Amino acid sequence: MITVALAKGALLKDSVRRFAAAGLDFTALLEPDNRLLMVPSACGTARALLVRNADVPVYVAYGQAQLGVVGYDVLREHRLPVAQLVDLGFGGCRMAVAVKASSGYRRAADLPPHCRIASKFTACAASFFEALDLPVELIHLTGSVELGPITGMSEAIVDLVATGRTLRDNGLVAIEDLFHSTARLIGHPLALRLDDGALRALVERLEAASRAPLPA
Amino acid sequence: MITVALAKGALLKDSVRRFAAAGLDFTALLEPDNRLLMVPSACGTARALLVRNADVPVYVAYGQAQLGVVGYDVLREHRLPVAQLVDLGFGGCRMAVAVKASSGYRRAADLPPHCRIASKFTACAASFFEALDLPVELIHLTGSVELGPITGMSEAIVDLVATGRTLRDNGLVAIEDLFHSTARLIGHPLALRLDDGALRALVERLEAASRAPLPA
């Protein structure tokens, strides 16, 4: 039995489509009244765990799921021992430094030393500003990071930007990208090594499905 | 202008009621179509920041809000420099160790040394098991912690239990409590010290309102 950890939220619909294209039907997860966290595939040969984005690599690292789908941003933030197998291509967004549009900062290097940066991704932010050799004070928030500059708590934020609408709605502007993120297929290294072929075949079908455009 | 940080979710409705009883009307926050994160009180003398539970003490610690309402569980988990002012009494729940009902463990001390414990509250769990002198491996999850024992990733969980329904629905049972939690009014220490009386008066009105039963 193959277990797959899928992330709730923005990546779920496309994750389910990709697995469907690779022969595993988890569409039950998409039903609006689904409350189950563990759902068998229609064929009965696999099951999906529905977990938070940040928890996907945890279930895979501990081997409770052999495969998982998660944003690259999570892999960069929480470095866990999982194998990155396929760039699935969907869920594109960028990790960016954003400031108040009225602030006058146009690059991250313009920010004053020892200024405050609010982020859900403080590990990513820390390595970015270390590489810039700009000392900053990081403030870890768990949501609505755009309130940092609005309330005056922080000079800037580091956050995921997809359409940029949340930034615009809050009078913020992205000034520099840390990296681009997409959904990734990850695997438990030992499960891959001990695989009798079924896992490898599934990964290959998912890889092939990622080269084809997503069905509408 | 007094700024108050309020937690989204389960504590919000009662928080707004308490502030209403103390003379500050933030009912605009309860409207189902409210998307604003910063809402002025009806009288215009104060404003509320609507943030995640775990972020309330951050805004108060940095002085962006002079007051905040947050669960005691969050204060225990993220030790930030805020003043605990009033036990508001609502939002009661307990932090508990839970295991599979079929497991046979009846106390936390029955758990095998070096077993795995999944939790969103790994700091609380760490100090509890340290006090028991029971070495455990903590696995940090951000949601649906009950999947830990179900998937076999962990022997037990440490999580908030309110009605116990989620545990029952997942075949789990609470075996030991770490502490009881309720909503707390917290304050920024410096704002309290520099207060000209307005903040103190509001805290006293909230304290009085907490001794009265909540209106239905």
Q: What is the pLDDT of residues A164-203, one digit of tens each?
A: 998 998 999 999 999 999 999 999 999 999 999 999 999 9
Q: How many domains does chain A have?
A: 2
Phi-psi region of A16 (alpha: psi -120 to 50; beta: other; left: phi over 0): alpha
Same domain, A34 and A65: yes
Same domain, B84 and B99: no
Can you tell me the distance from the alpha carbon of B185 to that of B168, in angstroms, rounded to the nearest whole number? Answer: 31
Most distant CA pair in chain A, distance: 58
With respect to residue B216, please indicate whether it lies within any of the assigned structural domains: no
Handedness of CA A99, A101, A105, A108 (dihedral sign): positive
Residue A110 touches chain B, beta carbons under 8 Å: no
Same domain, B84 and B186: yes
SS3 at position B34:
coil
CA angle at A24 for the pair A18 and A39, rounded to the nearest 5°: 105
Work out how many CB contacts closer than 8 A connect A with B: 74
Same domain, A11 and A77: yes
Min distance A133 CA to chain B CA atoms (Å): 25
Same domain, B126 and B172: yes
What pLDDT is attached to residue A214?
A: 60
Among B1, B38, B115, B147, pick the best mutation site for testing chain A contact (most A Cβ within 10 A): B147
Cβ atoms B161, B174 nearer than 8 A:
yes
With respect to residue B81, please indicate whether it lies within any of the assigned structural domains: yes
Mean pLDDT, chain A, as a whole number?
Answer: 94
Instruction: With CB atoms and an 8 Å threshold, state whether B52 touches A143.
Output: yes
Interface of B with A in 21-50 (CB under 8 A): 37-38, 49-50
Same domain, B51 and B120: no
Same domain, A8 and A75: yes
Nearest residue on chain B to A53, alpha-carbon basis: B142
Instruction: With CB atoms and an 8 Å threshold, state whether A144 touches B38.
Output: no
pTM (2 decimals)? Answer: 0.92
Same domain, B105 and B168: yes
Contact list, B37 vs chain A (CB under 8 Å)? 144, 146-147, 150
With respect to residue A52, please indicate whether it lies within any of the assigned structural domains: yes
Residues facing residue A118 across a β-bridge: A139, A157
What are the distances in angstroms from CA B24 to CA A59, A142, A205, B42?
45, 27, 59, 7
With respect to residue B58, please indicate whether it lies within any of the assigned structural domains: yes
Nearest to A66 by CA among A203, A209, A211, A182: A203
What pLDDT is attached to residue A215?
A: 59
Same domain, A120 and A198: no
Same domain, A83 and A187: yes
Instruction: With CB atoms and an 8 Å threshold, state whether B147 touches A58.
Output: no
Residue A213: pLDDT band by 50, 70, 90 thresholds? low
Same domain, A57 and A108: no
CATH code: domain of residue B105: 3.40.190.10
Min distance B53 CA to chain A CA atoms (Å): 9
Interface of A with B in 50-79 (CB under 8 A): 50-52, 54-55, 58-59, 62, 64
What pLDDT is attached to residue A216?
A: 55
| H helix count then E strand count, chain A | 8, 11
What pLDDT is attached to residue B211?
A: 85
With respect to residue B28, please indicate whether it lies within any of the assigned structural domains: yes
Q: What is the pLDDT of residues A73-107, one digit of tens each?
A: 999 999 999 999 999 999 999 999 999 999 999 99
Question: Domain range spanning residue A60?
Answer: 2-91+182-211
Note the ipTM here: 0.90
Min distance B52 CA to chain A CA atoms (Å): 6
What pLDDT is attached to residue B36?
A: 82
What parts of chain B have a pLDDT lower than 70? Answer: 213-216
- Tokens linked to B66: 């002079």
What pLDDT is attached to residue B32?
A: 85
With respect to residue A216, please indicate whether it lies within any of the assigned structural domains: no
Question: Other C-beta atoms within 10 Å of A200: how many?
Answer: 12
SS3 at position A55:
helix
Angle of the B12-21 helix axis to the B198-211 helix axis, nearest 10 = 110
Can you tell me the distance from the alpha carbon of A216 to that of A205, in angstroms, rounded to the nearest whole number? Answer: 19
Same domain, B44 and B81: yes
Angle of the A198-211 helix axis to the A12-21 helix axis, nearest 10 = 110
Residues facing residue A159 across a β-bridge: A96
Q: What is the pLDDT of residues A22-65, one digit of tens each?
A: 999 999 999 888 878 899 998 989 999 999 999 999 999 999 99
Residue B142 touches chain A, beta carbons under 8 Å: yes
With respect to residue A186, please indicate whether it lies within any of the assigned structural domains: yes
With respect to residue B24, please indicate whether it lies within any of the assigned structural domains: yes
Q: What is the pLDDT of residues A102-148, one digit of tens each?
A: 999 999 999 999 999 999 999 999 999 999 999 999 999 999 999 99
Handedness of CA B110, B112, B113, B116 (dihedral sign): negative
Residue A80 touches chain B, beta carbons under 8 Å: no
